Structure 1
Amino acid sequence: MTEFIREGEMVEGKKCSVSARRMEFKKGGLRKDPITNKNMVLYELDRNCSVEVTESLNLTEEEQQIRIGLGVHGNVGDRIQGDAIRLYADTKRDSLKPIVKEGQSGRHGASLIETNIRTIGKIKTPFSVYDRLLGYSAHSGNRQIENKLI
């Protein structure tokens, strides 16, 4: 199980486990996913969220090479965490129904979702605490966090 926290990190799976305090469907039609440019539904996850691969995709060698080139993580247990995550789901609107569990994310309830469709998660905003701990600031010019694993 590997966790990724850098901005732009992506996970993709046949099934994923999603946790977020706030989940919002993005209106405006279908969006192109960042890997294959296929039309998918976009959700914005906010406030301490994560996406973990629970079942990996069966990919051809060519499809695997595309994902390696883009840095997509797709092994079971690969997980991204951040302040905001873009979640692409291969489905129609509102088919993902969150279950709110109190006590799952500190003081507030977390929305938990188990997807059974192709799902892509991409970190939009990383945790700002890691920037401070690693010595980065908005003025340092180098905001990229090296591949730090938790």
Structure 2
Amino acid sequence: MANELTHLDHLGHAHMVDVSDKGVTKRSATARAVLSMKESTLTKVIEGGLPKGDVLATARIAGIQAAKKTSDLIPLCHPLMLTKVTVDISVISKNELEVLCTCSLSGKTGVEMEALTGASITALTLYDMCKAVDKGIVINNVSLLEKTGGKSGDWSSKNAEC
């Protein structure tokens, strides 16, 4: 199994993957997170009725910043020069928000971890901004939705087997 996992050498030791011989390609990835909360909390988020200020703007900025700092948080990730990060937060039901984070670049390695980090930190920031009125918020379904580019090609969770 050690030779199937790219972050393990032939002895099974963790190492950073050498991407110096890989070609530069356009790459992107989109990840999501879903937050479930009380209806009254979601109403306060939408209407701006929370004491910490503009919850959605703060969470978006946090997600963008986190995506850019992924290699500082996850030890074997390469530092990447992202060319675009978007964070979209949408109401998907009377008590749920969906976070979508998309990262793009032209580079030698993918941006899945950056998208997942951005979605996760956006969700955690939303929790932090709302915890004064709702400590029971649940963050669910943090997952990669799709990725494009690179040697392994395009991938979508719509076609994935679990």
Larger C-alpha radius of gyration, 1 or 2?
Answer: 2
Task: Calculate the TM-score normalised by the size of structure 2.
Answer: 0.24
Task: Calculate the TM-score normalised by the size of structure 1.
Answer: 0.25
Larger strand proportion, structure 1 or 2?
1
Larger helix proportion, structure 1 or 2?
2
